[in-house]
Structure 1
Amino acid sequence: MNVDLLVHEAWPAYEQRRHGGWILRYAGGVTKRANSVLALDVPADLDAAIGVAEDFYASRGRRCVFAVGAAPELDAALEARGYALVDPTVVMTGPGGSPEPEHEVRVEDRPWPAWLRAWWSVDGRYGSGLEEAERICTGVPAWYAAVEEDGVPLAVGRGVPQGDTLGVYCMATLPRARRRGLARSVLRALVRQGGTRSAYLVTTASNVAAQALYRSEGFEIRGGYHYRIR
């Protein structure tokens, strides 16, 4: 399972440029994931390649960002150039089977307006970027799940089928609805909907509460990455 590529494909930037083994990604500045360099190899002239990436983002008025996994040479080169390390992230994988959700979960193949508003109210760290975020989400086939009360989504998630695995994204619960098991029901509904042999998700290393939930559903940490920001 090449998680770097799975994440790239499940959260697609709508502008992508290849430079050797690197993919330069841009999506209006919404999320570092879709606005960073995915470095799939280390080029012979690493400094020149970094310069190309810096020019790419500078021309769009953005700071250059790299998603860095198991690439110590690249990580060291970026650190030497003054790039800050941010958002250490863990990758967790789990089984494809899942028990029945404990709550009724609505599942659609498109994000409806209330789903988007609920997700963005929790995860919308980028001001007015909801339109760009929706464009990213709908760039590939996916399912959108929510536990609702009176038509209002309280907990949401997104599942992306990718061959024999399912990528789980956009897990978010409104603050007033937490500690009620709603996220667990959303996760179970997505995994059951996917019907794949396995599932994976990513979460920040500091989010130990989310990791505890995912472990209780059979997920374990299998790797990780971080970002370097100029």
Structure 2
Amino acid sequence: MLDDLMRAGWPALDEVDVDGWVARFSGGVTQRANSVIPRRAPADLEAALRRVERLYAARGLPVVFQLGPSAQPDGLDGVLADRGYEFGSPTAILTANVGEMPPADVEMAELPSDEWLDLWWQVDGRGDQSALDIAAKILCGGPALYATVLDADGVAAVGRLALVGEWGGVYCMAVRPDARRRGHGAAVLSGLLRAGRARGVTRAWLHVRAENTAASSLYRKAGFTETSRYHYRSYRGQEPVQHVHPEP
């Protein structure tokens, strides 16, 4: 279920079904939107791998698989490793029930402003203006809420809550470097969950890189607990995908 929620919360610009796998393409912007979700075991594993590799090669992209506990077939991670795919970006998935949240001094919108995009890209972006334009299309590929915290110097922190039924997905949490350790991240998270709850969100999920202990601490204080983990396997010898960090 979480795979489907994450797929809806961060929608790729194009998808191709490969015998039960979903190959996603978004101009190389973010690993998540340019990777394969191995949802069901293909009838012919070798044929599926060859087709996936041709699809990504035709687009000039490295072949990337997102591998969590539900990846099919069993043992796919080892098959990819033997094939020369490199391990990377171990990421925890955390979930929480959304209860009453304290008020926060946060501006909320249904679309990202230019200032919101500028700060997020400054903190987590990878690439030029064309990459940012693609990222904006991914962000606006489904309903979401966008939180902004302001200080005397302008936009201090931002975040996004993807709205997927009764679930909300926390993405794009970013704080301006000189405004960190002032509670802005906690304010953004509280504001997003409070606004999501008002729209019927009862459960939330988020991603955090395994080594990001500061973010993990913030989320755990807000009631999030780890549900599972995933990582990526990328085909060796290809140019690295242009991406923002896979965690929010």
Residue 225 (1) aligns with residue 230 (2): yes
**Alpha-carbon distance in structure 2 between the residues aligned to 1:152 and 1:111:** 15
Cα deviation for residue 166 of structure 1 reads 0.7
Aligned to 1:67: 66
Cα deviation for residue 156 of structure 1 reads 0.5
Cα deviation for residue 177 of structure 1 reads 0.7
Preserved CA contact (<8 Å) 1:31 1:126: no
**Alpha-carbon distance in structure 2 between the residues aligned to 1:153 and 1:50:** 44
Aligned to 2:149: 147
Aligned to 1:48: 47
Aligned to 2:121: 120
The C-alpha deviation readout for 1:189-217, integer Å capped at 9, x for no partner, is 11111112111101111111100000001
Aligned to 1:8: 7
The C-alpha deviation readout for 1:55-105, integer Å capped at 9, x for no partner, is 11100111100001123411111001010000001000112124324x410
Aligned to 2:140: 138
Preserved CA contact (<8 Å) 1:69 1:226: yes
The C-alpha deviation readout for 1:6-41, integer Å capped at 9, x for no partner, is 111111111111112111111110000000011101
Cα deviation for residue 150 of structure 1 reads 4.5
Preserved CA contact (<8 Å) 2:101 2:193: no
Residue 191 (1) aligns with residue 193 (2): yes
Aligned to 2:98: 96
**Alpha-carbon distance in structure 2 between the residues aligned to 1:57 and 1:49:** 12
- The alignment partner of 1:34 has SS state of helix
Which AA in structure 2 matches 1:217?
Answer: A
Preserved CA contact (<8 Å) 1:96 1:165: no
Aligned to 1:79: 81
- The alignment partner of 1:62 has SS state of coil
Aligned to 1:108: 109
Which AA in structure 2 matches 1:154?
Answer: A
Q: Aligned to 2:208, which of 203, 207, 214?
A: 203
Q: Choose 78-87 or 44-53, whichever is displaced more.
A: 44-53
Q: Choose 204-213 or 91-100, whichever is displaced more.
A: 91-100
Q: Choose 59-68 or 90-99, whichever is displaced more.
A: 90-99
Cα distance, 1:202–1:189 mapped onto 2, change above 3 Å: same
Question: Unpaired segments of 5 or more residues in structure 1?
Answer: none
% same residue: 43
Aligned to 1:36: 35
Question: Unpaired segments of 5 or more residues in structure 2?
Answer: 236-248
**Alpha-carbon distance in structure 2 between the residues aligned to 1:98 and 1:149:** 25
Aligned to 2:163: 161
Q: CA RMSD in A?
A: 1.2
Preserved CA contact (<8 Å) 1:98 1:188: no
Cα deviation for residue 126 of structure 1 reads 3.0
Preserved CA contact (<8 Å) 2:208 2:216: yes
Which AA in structure 1 matches 2:156?
Answer: L
Which AA in structure 2 matches 1:58?
Answer: A
State the TM-score, normalizing by the size of structure 1: 0.96
**Alpha-carbon distance in structure 2 between the residues aligned to 1:46 and 1:176:** 49
Which AA in structure 2 matches 1:167?
Answer: G
Aligned to 2:240: none
Matched pairs, number: 228
Which AA in structure 2 matches 1:60?
Answer: R
Which AA in structure 2 matches 1:110?
Answer: L
Structure 1 segments, 4+ long, off by >4 Å, are none
